[in-house]
Amino acid sequence: MKTLTLAFTLVVAAASMVGAPAALSDIGGLESLRGLKPLDSTNNAPEMAKYQHDEAPVKRNYVQQPPVIPHAIRGYQVDLRGNKCLSCHSWDNYKEAGATKVSLTHFETRDGHALAEISPRRYFCLQCHVPQAVANPPVANRYQSTSDLNKH
Amino acid sequence: MSKQRTAILARYWQLLTRPAAIAMGLILSAGFFAGIIFWGGFNTGLEMTNREEFCIGCHEMRDNVYQELKETIHYANRSGVRATCPDCHVPKEWTYKIIRKIKASQEVWGKITGVIDTREKFLEHRGEMAAREWARMKANDSRECRNCHNFDSMDFSEQGRRGMAQHEEALASGEKTCIDCHKGIAHRLPDMANVEGWQ
């Protein structure tokens, strides 16, 4: 009996060792966002999307949408020490720079009190405003704006 | 005795006033070669301090400004042309280079006394150091930028609409120079609260 148990254990152990890599790489024909690639192999990285370098302002899709950034922003510093965006978009500079000025709403605290400067909660531009790239979304989007819905 | 002494003096005087041609040639050629060696050595030494490896030999430069440079387009870009520290911070022309090098002795003193030997100290002094470089570039019409970025070779049609407008007006008229708008393009910025054109 003891010999039989030992033999059985050895056989199971051997089988599991042989089977292990096969089981790991088997994804059961399921295609995930990383493609039909076994788990233990590296998939091909998608091509990196290129940011739009210099476009005209982009139309907004809905009321209160933060307008997107139609130009490259590589190396723009926005932190405690300085805000590169404001060197063109601030109320002091927008006219000379020919840029869109920061909305008046950005000067209000969350309680609606008007400030002389950009409100700290609105200081980090890139929280809402983002640069654009031509990228094919992996999942289709059927979004319609309210103005589009009104047309039906 | 005195006659003999006079003769020695006279001979010596003659040696000094009318040296033998060979001695003359020897002195001149020795001086010539010594000149080459000293001048060459001086210039080689100077050029040695004009390399990036020398600049980042100190941890102050290596751990602060050099790390920041690595993230910018002046270090990595699509065409692989890159600027090293001296390309922007040391003039190419000899006269200006020597003036800058002499001024840099202050930086050696700063290194010895450890003015910016920690990150905190560096950040504390970043404002004044940046202001010094901005002032230098403003005063010389961004000469070091223009070593590579030649205004006459700028193709405005290849530039973005926003940049083109600025270059065509402000830069072309000489009203502004590169550094007026392009601050913080190679390193992080100090507190910009009182800097013209910011906020």
Give the tens place of pLDDT for each residue, A114-129.
999 999 999 999 999 9
> Which pLDDT score, from 0 to 100, does residue B20 have?
79
Whether the model clears a pTM of 0.80, i.e. scores above it, the answer is: no
Q: What is the mean pLDDT of residues B8-32?
A: 86
Instruction: Dump strand ranges (E) for chain A.
Output: none
B43: burial class by Cβ within 10 Å (0-12, 13-18, 19+)? exposed
B173 touches chain A (CB under 8 A): no
- Give the tens place of pLDDT for each residue, A27-74: 777 777 777 788 788 888 878 888 888 888 998 888 889 999 999 998
Distance CA B140, CA B152 (A): 18
Domain count for chain B: 1
The reply to whether A132 and A57 lie within a common domain is yes
The reply to whether A64 and A121 lie within a common domain is yes
Residue A118 lies inside a defined structural domain of this protein: yes
Return the SS3 of A96: helix
Contact B198 A82 (CB under 8 A): yes
Residue B81 lies inside a defined structural domain of this protein: yes
Contact A81 B192 (CB under 8 A): yes
DSSP state of B170: I
- Give the tens place of pLDDT for each residue, A85-102: 999 999 999 998 889 999
Complex ipTM: 0.74
B190 touches chain A (CB under 8 A): yes
- Answer whether residue A148 shows pLDDT above 50: yes
Q: Are A74 and B73 in contact (CB under 8 A)?
A: yes
A107 Cα to chain B: minimum distance (Å)? 13
Residue B164 lies inside a defined structural domain of this protein: yes
Residues spanned by the domain of A132: 46-137
- Answer whether residue A13 shows pLDDT above 80: no
A87 vs B72, B188, B197: nearest CB: B197
Interface of B with A in 57-116 (CB under 8 A): 71-73
Residue B72 lies inside a defined structural domain of this protein: yes
